[in-house]
Amino acid sequence: MSGPALARQGSRTAALPWVPAVLLVLTAIAYPLTDAGGAVRDAVSWTIVLLGSTVSVVHATVSRGARTGAGVLLVTAATAVVFESVGLATGFPYGEYTYSDDLGPTLLGVPFLVPLAWLMMAWPSWLLARRLTRGGRRAARVGVAAAVFAAWDVVLDPQMVQAGYWTWAHPRPSLPGIDTVPLTNLAGWLLAGLVLMTLLDLLVAGAAPEPPRTGDGAPLLVLGWMTLGGAVAHAGWLGLPGSATWGVLLAVPVLVALAVQARRP
């Protein structure tokens, strides 16, 4: 195959994660415009999660190889099922909660949609942490990735509770402005994030080619839109000003760090 043909093939391959990423943005815009509690909004929620998880797997595969793509899928799904099933049975580490039947089929009591949501969140969180801690040690990268992973849920969890997908038995004490999700959930996400991000970091170190074959734009678009775009939707349409405010407050330090990093020679 000639050089120009290889370049065209590489360009098409690099574009693959952008297709579900752009579709996710368009679908997420539709979420607050649909009727609360209706079948259409449920379908939109499923579509967002399916597209987001697709972005993660496709990007991991395109940028770092099929072994990494499969590993990201399996490691994230397995970790999600373990943590969520233990959480449902014992209340540790998130606090006591129950899922509604609206989320469909389950495994060990965990709806299939939940591991896919973890997958949508986890890979972009690790990628952003890698960018923020460029040249840093694994402990720093894993810690930042776990913090991003947990911060993303600060925005998403109140929206899912509002939609009726799960309910907390004891939602207080909670973050100021968010009275439906307990602080134990944030602690649980930090713990789960540390475990998952350590596993993902080890996976990439053992399986991925260096340098990555494509950039991180598509999954970072998903992360940014679901956080800041979600904050706009919470403030303007969903009646969730508390989580909207937290979304902005948590995003600002990341944006400042990225801006400072971009100015460095």
pLDDT digits (tens, 9 = 90+) for 207-242: 766 677 789 999 999 999 999 999 999 999 999 999
| DSSP state letters, the chain | --HHHHHHHHHHHHHTTHHHHHHHHHHHHHGGGSPTTSHHHHHHHHHHHHHHHHHHHHHHHHHH-HHHHHHHHHHHHHHHHHHHHHHHHH-TTT-SEEE-GGG--EETTEETHHHHHHHHHHHHHHHHHHHHTTT--HHHHHHHHHHHHHHHHHHHHHHHHHTTSEEES---SB-TT--SSBHHHHHHHHHHHHHHHHHHHHHHHHH--SS-SS-SHHHHHHHHIIIIIHHHHHHHTSS-HHHHHHHHHHHHHHHHHHHHHHH--
Structure tokens, 36: 């609360």
> If pLDDT is split at 50, 70 and 90, which confidence band does 14 have?
confident
88 touches 114 (CB < 8 A): no
Q: What is the pLDDT of residue 260?
A: 85
Q: Quickly tell me which residue has 């439906």 as its tokens.
A: 180
Q: What is the pLDDT of residue 136?
A: 82
Using the predicted structure, report yes or no on whether residue 245 has a pLDDT greater than 90.
Answer: yes
Q: Is the peptide bond before 93 cis (omega within 30 degrees of 0)?
A: yes
Predicted structure pTM score: 0.93
Instruction: Evaluate the CA torsion angle 103, 107, 113, 118 in order and state its sign.
Output: positive
For the residues 181-207, what does the mean pLDDT come to? 96
Residue 134 has, within 13 A of its CA and on its CB side, a CA count of 9
Q: What is the pLDDT of residue 3?
A: 46
Q: Is the peptide bond before 173 cis (omega within 30 degrees of 0)?
A: yes
d(CA 163, CA 225): 19
For the residues 10-15, what does the mean pLDDT come to? 75
| Torsion angle (degrees, nearest 10) of CA 168, 226, 93, 133 | -160
Q: What is the pLDDT of residue 232?
A: 94
Using the predicted structure, report yes or no on whether residue 6 has a pLDDT greater than 50.
Answer: no
Between residues 82 and 3, the one the model is more confident about: 82
Using the predicted structure, report yes or no on whether residue 111 has a pLDDT greater than 90.
Answer: yes
Length of the chain: 265
Q: What is the pLDDT of residue 98?
A: 96
Between residues 263 and 142, the one the model is more confident about: 142
169 touches 96 (CB < 8 A): yes
Q: What is the pLDDT of residue 265?
A: 62
Average pLDDT score over the chain:
92
186 touches 157 (CB < 8 A): no
Closest CA to 76 of 125, 109, 148: 125
Q: What is the pLDDT of residue 264?
A: 73
* pLDDT (tens digit per residue) in 26-78: 999 999 999 887 889 999 999 999 999 999 999 999 999 999 999 999 999 99
For the residues 185-192, what does the mean pLDDT come to? 98
Closest CA to 154 of 74, 67, 238, 248: 248
Using the predicted structure, report yes or no on whether residue 8 has a pLDDT greater than 70.
Answer: no
Q: What is the pLDDT of residue 209?
A: 65
